[in-house]
Amino acid sequence: MSFRENLIEAAIAGREAPAINAVAKTEGMRSDYLLKQVATGRVVIMQRDGKPPLGIGGGLRTKVNANIGTSTDVFDPDKEVEKARIAEKYGADTVTDLSMGGPTDDILRRISEATSTPLTTVPIYQTVAQKGSFESITERDLVQTIRKHVGAGISSIVVHAAFTFDMLEELKDAKRIMGMVSKGGSFTSAWMLQKGEENPFLTLFDEICGILAKRDVVLSLGNTMRSGCIHDLMDGLQVKELEMNADLARKANELGVQVVIEGMGGHVSPDRIPDYVAQYKKKTDFRPLFVAGPLPIDIGVGYDHISGCVGGAIAAGAGADYLCYITPSEHLALPNAGQVREGVVAFKIAAHIGDTLKYGPRPEDKMLARYRKERDWVNQFKFAIDGEKAIETYTQNGTGTCSMCGKYCAIAIMENYLK
Ligand code: SF4
C-alpha cells in the first residue's frame, strides 16, 4: 500500500500537493485556485495508487460514474471485469463496484486490476452479501468492510448516514408513490428497523472518518430519501436529509475527509431540476454534487439512458458536478456490456451538454465541425464521443462516403458553387 497525501489537510495548510497540481494541469486551471477549491471542500480529488488523480467539483469538467457489479441473480465475475473495462474505454471517469453475488472480494480486486479510474464501493452492499441477513450484521462488521475496502486501495466509499430512526417513522406517513428507492438506504433502514437501533453510519461517523482520512478516501454521502418517480416531489424528508448531509460534510472536512454530496437524483420532473440543483449546491456550501440521472420522465423504460441523458444534461447545466450513468436496462435487469457502453456514452453526452451550458461551447465541437466541413472523416471521428460507433455507421452501406445525401451532399454542392 503506497502513501497517499491527505489533500484537504495539504490544501488548508496551503501546501502544494502533486495530485492537486496534476488535476490542475488536466483541467487547464491554476494550481493555487484549485488548492483553494479543495481547502473549502468545493472540489474533491479522488486518488488511486499509481493511477492519475481525478478532480470533481466547481469549475471542473462534469464527471461520469458507471455502476457495475454482480447481483444475487447474475454473478459472472468475468463479465463484470469486462464491463468495467468497457466503462473506462468509453469514457467513464469513475467506476463503482456494487457486487453482491459471487466472490465479492475477488471481483473487487479484479476490477481494480483491470481499471485505472478512481474506484468506489458501497460497503454495506458487500457486508449484506457476505453475512446473508440484516439481523446478523453488527456495527463492527460494517467498520470491518470499510477497513477492508480502504485497504484494497479504493478511492471513495458511499454511506447513507443522513437519516434517523425518527425519519423512518415519518416515511411511513409520507405522501409518496414510491417510498424509498435507494438500495444502500434500504439496507441501512432494514438494519435499523430489525435491530431497533439508530443509523449505524451516523453513530460510527467519527470512526469512519478516521479510517478514511488516513488514506485520503473520499466520503460520498448517500441520498436515501431521493424521489423514485417524478410525481414524488422534494418533501420534508429530502430537505432534512440534505441539511444533515450538509452538516456531516462540514464535520468530515474538519476531520480531514474530502466529501461528495449525493442528492437530487432519482426521478425529477424536468421543470424542477435546475431549482433542486441550486438548493443542493447552496445548502452544502457548493460542495461537489453527485446526481443519479436524474430521470425526467418515468415512461422511457428500455430507453432510460436517453431519458437520463436529458435529465443529466439539465442537472449538469444547472451546476451538478458528477453524474451517475443510467443504462437502457435500468429498472429491468443487470446491464450487459453493450448496455454499459450505451449508458456511459449517453452520460458523456449529458456531461458535455452540461459543460456547454456551464462554460460555453467546447473546443471539441469546433474541431469536429471544421473537419466535417472538409469531409475529413478520419479526423472528425477523433473528436466524436464514441468515434467507433461513428465509423461503424459511416461504413454501414459500403459507399465509401456519407450515403445520407449521396452525390447531393449540401456541403459539397455549396463548396463547388461558392468556390
Ligand atoms: S451527404 Fe448530406 S448528411 Fe452527409 S455530409 Fe453531406 S450534407 Fe451531410
- The closest-lying atom of ligand 1 relative to the alpha carbon of residue 402 is 4
At 2 the pLDDT is 72
Q: Is the CB of 394 under 6 A from ligand 1?
A: no
**pLDDT tier, 419 (very low <50, low <70, confident <90, very high otherwise):** confident
Could you tell me the CA-to-CA distances from 160 to 10, 129, 181, 223 in Å, in that order?
27, 17, 13, 7
pLDDT (0 to 100) of residue 355: 98
When pLDDT is averaged across residues 302-325 and rounded to a whole number, the result is 98
Distance from the CA of 412 to the center of ligand 1, in angstroms?
A: 8
**Mean pLDDT within 229-251:** 96
Under the banding of pLDDT at 50, 70 and 90, the label for residue 189 is: very high
**Residue to mutate, 377, 409, 413, ligand 1, most ligand atoms under 8 Å from C-beta:** 409
pLDDT at 104 > cutoff 80:
yes
Nearest to 240 by CA among 162, 320, 160, 159: 162
Q: Which residue has the cell 463496484?
A: 97
Atom of ligand 1 minimally distant from the CA of 410: 7
The rounded mean pLDDT for the chain is 96
Q: Tens digits of per-residue pLDDT, 281-313?
A: 999 999 999 999 999 999 999 999 999 999 999
Exposure string of 366-390, with b = 16+ CB inside 10 Å and e = fewer, is eebeebeeeeebeebbebebbeeeb
User: Is any atom of ligand 1 closer than 6 Å to the C-beta of 299?
Assistant: no
Pair 294, 267: CB distance under 8 Å:
yes
**Pocket of ligand 1 contains residue 378 by CB under 6 Å:** no
Q: Which atom of ligand 1 lies nearest, measured to the CA of 412?
A: 6
The answer to pTM > 0.85 is yes
Q: H-helix or E-strand containing 141?
A: helix 139-151
Distance from the alpha carbon of residue 377 to the mean position of ligand 1, in angstroms = 11
404, pLDDT greater than 80? yes
Residue 206: the pLDDT is: 98
Nearest CA to ligand 1 atom 6: 409
What pLDDT sits at residue 265? 78
pLDDT at 264: 84
Which DSSP string corresponds to 358-407? HH-S-HHHHHHHHHHHTT-HHHHHHTSTTHHHHHHHHTTT-SSS-TTTGG
Average pLDDT of the segment spanning 90-104? 96
pLDDT in tens, 244-288: 999 999 999 999 999 999 998 799 999 999 999 999 999 999 999
Q: pLDDT by residue (tens digit) across 107-148?
A: 999 999 999 999 999 999 999 999 999 989 999 999 999 999
What is the average pLDDT across 221-227?
96
Ligand 1 centroid to Cα of residue 418, in Å, is 17
In which band, very low, low, confident or very high, does the pLDDT at 335 lie, cut at 50, 70 and 90? Answer: very high
Q: What is the dihedral of CA 198, 203, 204, 205, to 10 degrees?
A: 120
List, for residues 148-162, the tens digit of each pLDDT value.
999 999 999 999 999
- pLDDT at position 129 is 94
Locus of grid cell 472480494: 105
Distance CA 283, CA 289 (A): 11
Quote the pLDDT of residue 155: 98
Closest CA relative to residue 161, chosen from 89, 252, 88? 252
How far apart are alpha carbons 345 and 49 in whole angstroms?
27
Percent of the chain with pLDDT over 70: 100
What 361-368 contacts at long range (C-beta under 8 Å, 24+ apart), as own/partner pairs, is none
The residue ranges of DSSP E strands in 102-245, in sequence order, are 119-121, 156-159, 218-221
Please answer whether residues 227 and 233 qualify as being in contact, where contact means their C-beta atoms are separated by less than 8 angstroms: yes
CB of 95 within 8 A of CB of 110?
no
**Strand pairing category for 119-121 and 259-262:** unpaired
Q: Does 369 sit in the ligand 1 pocket, CB within 6 Å? A: no
* Ligand 1 midpoint to CA 376 (Å): 12
What mean pLDDT comes out for the span 382-408?
Answer: 94
Instruction: Decide: 414 in ligand 1 pocket, CB within 6 A.
Output: no
Could you read off the pLDDT of 50-60 as tens digits, one per residue?
999 999 999 99
Strands 54-57 and 43-46: antiparallel
Ligand 1 centroid to 409 CA: how many Å?
A: 5
- Tell which one of 372, 376, 411 to mutate to probe ligand 1, the residue whose CB is within 8 A of the most ligand atoms: 411
In whole angstroms, what is the distance from residue 169 CA to residue 198 CA?
Answer: 12
pLDDT of residue 3: 79
pLDDT of residue 1: 66
For atom 3 of ligand 1, the residue with the nearest CA is: 404
